[in-house]
Structure 1
């Protein structure tokens, strides 16, 4: 590499002495390295004369090609350095839902602001689906409802949200300040197949198990907006995290639960073998924001 750099300097200045001065090297050293390179290549790169040198045709072609190669190498080194520092690269994120104004939305917005060089690929799906993609190394990190403890991954609770009941505006309980699970006995619950639907389904069964009459639960292959629209139209009720109540939902009343003492945790899950600086920076930012929310 030193021989190539010195050869390029001589090609630029067309003078060994000037090239050596620019490089901060001895003229004899530069001359010797260039001569050794010519011997190795078996071609004459420079024609020497009393006032300096000039490139041969072979030398001109060689210098042009080497310049391109060194520029590419320099770009590769700089790019690798930026990726290693988390300033450039790609982050593949799996989510169960993303609500405008919610913690995850704020986290990703802040991350993109602080790390504009990172391209974010987002995949939405159930916890089971995104975990399968994580295990297949198709995702770098997933955010799921609950506090999982997978034996093969790191998991950390990042934020929590109160559980909210979503009722149609014309529901008899819509005028209350809060609801309790016994109030909802006999109701028809609507839950999604996707997103956090499976966790909502399990939670409803858990709350009614052995306490009240078994609920009617309809599982639907719809998005959150369609689900809330069906609630507004009186097809049934549902349960959501508090962030969902920030969504515009005409005809829907959101009420907190008086008998849900703990908010619903949401966790990040990632591989212990993933050394991505972009991932580390996201986790650090999530921790800082979580602390700010807790102390603020």
Structure 2
């Protein structure tokens, strides 16, 4: 129950309209009812009536009226300071909620197999961050199996993997493709060729990683060289991609990579197109069907748009040099 006696404070009920508080703040700022009304674009009578009703509901005199305007009482000053803070917080909450609903504020957790400067994936994430500066982008690197498991555990919002996985509990979409190239030491007999075939690679020692796309690379090599002679050897290493390329350059063996990897600075390594590799490797986005956030939707929209414009993911590379010379 509200006690309307002046000077007797009462509890603030939730029925006090926000507009009354906003108009009271305007009067406190201008110290004049007419100026406050003009600033808000409302009538003088509206402001006067709402402030008076608020004072009566609170049981507190907020303003001392005089001929030239008003002056805050001590109680009014303290009330206005607290209300101003609350209104600012409410305004911030409304704005951030609206930004989150439109995908302009929040967090996006991305799982990737690798990140190569100037690759399609790097360009995609860079463009997304430029378009949506209010989004905090987190990137986790791992194998397709690892990142999909994290996606299912709701620790990632989207993952990008090699291939076109068909997962019954996830949505997926093919985004871009990359040709496969062979990485060989620059002193290898094949390094002088403009392109190689899988028959040329038979009998070689292949190096693959345990992480990243290593498992897919291993299976692809086994599939392409099955039944060929001489038999090839495949050695696995728990190293980063840059280290694996360094091992290739030092003559430990050869490997196969997506063409985007040829964008990396790699001394003593030559990248050769594989002439009988008929189709490039597709890369897909995978996400949960229960994730309907605008943050994710905006990334998928951008990925599809960029993928249609640049399906091979290589139009941004320096095309002045053939792969074999990079």
Deviation at 1:21, TM superposition (A): 3.9
After superposition, give the CA deviation of every residue in 1:12-40 in whole Å (9 maximum; x if it has no partner). 23333443343343444333322332233
Counterpart pick for 2:219 among 184, 196, 202: 202
Aligned residue among 280, 286, 304 for 1:287: 304
Matches of 2:32 and 2:151, distance apart in 1: 58
Contact 2:21 2:83 in 1 (8 A): yes
C-alpha offsets along residues 206-229 of structure 1, whole Å, 9 cap, x if unaligned? 223345565321110111111011
Deviations 1:175-207 (A, max 9, x none): 222222222222221100111111101111222
Where do 5+ consecutive residues of structure 2 fail to align?
Answer: 1-17, 316-326
User: Which deviations, in whole Å up to 9, do the C-alpha atoms of 1:240-259 show, x marking residues without a partner?
Assistant: 00111121211112111122
Matches within 5 A, 1:96-245: 96-212=113-229, 214-245=231-262
Indicate which of 32, 42, 56 corresponds to 1:15: 32
* CA pair 33-165 structure 1, distance change in 2 beyond 3 A: same
Equivalent residue number for residue 107 of structure 2: 90
Q: How many residues align?
A: 296
Deviation at 1:3, TM superposition (A): 1.2
Measure how far apart 1:70 and its partner are. 0.9
111-120 vs 162-171, greater mean Cα deviation: 111-120
Q: Aligned partners of 1:256, 1:72: CA distance in 2, in Å?
A: 59
Q: TM-score, normalised by structure 2?
A: 0.83
1:79 to partner: Cα distance: 2.4
SS of the residue aligned with 1:108?
helix
Deviates more, 1:260-269 or 1:107-116: 107-116
Structure 1: gaps spanning 5 or more residues: none
Give me the CA root mean square deviation.
2.1
1:61 aligns with 2:74: no
Determine helix, strand or coil for the equivalent of 1:61.
Answer: helix
Q: Is residue 207–residue 253 contact of structure 2 (8 Å, CA) maintained in 1? A: yes
User: For the residues of structure 2 that align with 1:240 and 1:253, how far apart are their CA atoms?
Assistant: 12
After superposition, the Cα gap between the structure-2 partners of 1:46 and 1:174, relative to the gap in structure 1 and judged at 3 Å, is same
CA distance 1:15–1:203, change in 2 (3 Å): same
